[in-house]
Amino acid sequence: MEFWRHIYEHFDPVAVEIFGFPVHWYGIMYVLALLVALFFAQWLAKRDNLPFSQKELDIYFVWAEVGVILGARLGYILFYDPHTEYYLTHPWQIFNPFLNGQFVGIRGFSYHGAIIGFLIATYLYCKKYKKNFWALMDLVAVSVPLGYFFGRIGNFLNQELIGRPTDVEWGIYVSGVLRHPSQLYEAFCEGLLLFVILFWYRKHKKFDGELIVLYGFLYGLFRFLCEFFREPDIQLGYICCGWLTMGQVLSLFMMSVSVLLYFYLRRRGEKIYTKSV
């Protein structure tokens, strides 16, 4: 237990250097998350006889990833970065990986921003290739949490998004302060647990889009709860009521939209069923 508490003192977030460029464990886990989500989606589409071929999902993967990267970065700039004004007047700096001539990578991504970019990219893909948007989103809903698990593990290995101070036995020291390993809480709740629920429920869905709205609601709920163990963003702190973080506010919004969307899609599905009968 003592070794676990001091794990950051024995672990280097940089996995290897290639031609002088550091390759972080976070980057490796991020790539692994993407590949796991893609390969699982292809396997599930084949297993459940869904109307998406491997080649179609390969193409969609590129669209989705572009949307995720753009949305995640822009979302961070708009929701979290204290220098939003600067970036809005110097947009070419948003994706600049160099600082004072030194390569530092691109830091600062927002999950909720990634969702927006992802939705836009998915809509455009379905429009171009004439695919059922909501059926594709249901496939995504089951596949993404499995990849998301590795993403949060990457946050843990990168020693970022740290937890709040605690005295629990499984806490870890970060700069001399014992804290919750909140990244692991999120990896379990927003990743593995959410995946198990949706993978089981997929056989019981009643209309296209039900799985993605269930994902939206449950992710928002789990993220809201896990935020109580996660240190608020230092540049923002608590932004509402003296205890709500930006992540919690965005999660509440996500849950509300999911509930409204659920009733809309259920009613839409019932109308389609009535017409077909």
User: Model confidence over 156-194: pLDDT tens digits?
Assistant: 998 888 999 999 999 999 989 999 999 999 999 999 999
CA dist 265 → 13, 105, 214, 269 (Å): 44, 41, 12, 6
Q: In which band, very low, low, confident or very high, does the pLDDT at 249 lie, cut at 50, 70 and 90?
A: very high
Mean pLDDT in residue range 69-94: 72
pLDDT at residue 277, rounded to an integer: 36
For residues 38 and 25, give the distance between their C-alpha atoms in angstroms, rounded to a whole number: 20
Q: How many CB atoms lie within 10 A of CB 228?
A: 14
pLDDT at residue 81, rounded to an integer: 66
For residues 182 and 11, give the distance between their C-alpha atoms in angstroms, rounded to a whole number: 18
Q: With contact defined as beta carbons under 8 Å apart, do 9 and 159 qualify? A: no
Q: What is the DSSP string of 56-85?
A: HHHHHHHHHHHHHHHHHHHHHHHHT-TTHH
User: Model confidence over 85-139: pLDDT tens digits?
Assistant: 666 776 666 666 555 555 545 666 777 788 889 999 999 999 999 999 999 999 9
Predicted TM-score of the model (pTM): 0.84
